[in-house]
Amino acid sequence: MMTTHGKQRQRGWTLVELLCTLGILAIVAALATPPLHRWVARHTVALQASALTSALRLARSEAIRRGQRVSLCAAVGTPDAPRCQTRTRDWSQGWLVFVDEGATPRQWDEGERLIAVQDGQGGVTITLPSNQASVSFTASGLALADNSSFDVSPTMAEAAAAQCVRVATSGRIRLQEAPCAS
């Protein structure tokens, strides 16, 4: 019978191997962080631009379907008690879509039918440079304003992620995957 007295086989990692592995993982994570921030910014902007485009299209189609004016306004207040802002460039807090038949045109009045409410999303600014607080559509689908362009951009400086939602006086709504200025 032969016995062996020698090295036993080691299992697991040494401290040096573990530290090297963690160092490499830290370097890879640091390199991946900027692209991840860019992706998150683009994704967030795309979601809000798409939601705004959908709300505008909903307002236009409801105006045609109902045969009366339907408006979309920049929202302010709490989700339980939203109201329209009266004069603003900032649409970042969200918007209301409503049948505009009340005493105050382009403002949601108590008793008017609320079609949709959209809350704002953090990390995104939405501005309408013309200081319009609302966009309205007639029964024929025309927009009751000059051509409007909503700038949808991330709050952090990532200009490449910006998008533009355009509303023509004809009622046509377009989503452009570039800033409005271009």
Tokens (6 digits) for 53: 């485009």
User: What pLDDT score does 102 carry?
Assistant: 72
For the chain, give percent helix, strand, coil, nearest 5. 30, 25, 45
For residue range 35-49, list pLDDT tens digits in order.
777 778 888 888 999
Contact 70, 97 (CB under 8 A): yes
64 contacts: CB under 8 Å, gap ≥ 6? 137, 139, 140, 141
User: What pLDDT score does 57 carry?
Assistant: 95
User: What pLDDT score does 34 carry?
Assistant: 67
Contact 154, 41 (CB under 8 A): yes
Domains, the chain, ranges and CATH? 16-176 (3.55.40.10)
User: What pLDDT score does 29 carry?
Assistant: 76
Give the residues of the chain that fall short of pLDDT 50: none
CA dist., res. 134 & res. 86, Å (int): 8
CA dist., res. 80 & res. 148, Å (int): 29
User: What pLDDT score does 178 carry?
Assistant: 86
- Cα-Cα-Cα-Cα dihedral sign, residues 57, 98, 178, 142: positive
User: What pLDDT score does 59 carry?
Assistant: 94
User: What pLDDT score does 103 carry?
Assistant: 66
